[in-house]
Amino acid sequence: MINISDSASDKLKEMLAEQEIPGMFLRLGVQAGGCSGFSYAMGFDDAETEDDVYMDVNDLKVVVDKDSLRLIDGLEIDFEESGMSGGFTMNNPNATATCGCGASFRTALDAGKPAPEEC
């Protein structure tokens, strides 16, 4: 299960409303890289595959591929305003190590493939 705070879901709904393609949803995933081994992938999509898991979180359609789900099950996404900017934060209960910016992680069972030049 993925958890999205009210502030993050409000921001995502606002961003989705700006999309000009009907049927868009939030796609979450993980890819190898980042300084800790895995990087989060978050974006909008309009196509699902048979390898995807669908969730409804705060009235948002969220899709995660099955391989990523094992690494981010329980993920908490928040959105924080900070002065003139803001951004999404990820709190992953599966992460045993994260980079300083919080954009990459590794788990106890899988270190991924770190790429320090990406930090």
Torsion of CA 34, 40, 46, 51, to 10 degrees: 100
Task: Supply the pTM of this predicted model.
Answer: 0.82
Whole-angstrom distance, CA of residue 24 vs CA of residue 26:
7
Domain 3-105: CATH architecture, name and number where available: Sandwich (2.60)
Quick check: 31 pLDDT over 70? Answer: yes
What is the mean predicted confidence (pLDDT) over 51-73? Answer: 94
Q: What is the pLDDT of residue 42?
A: 94
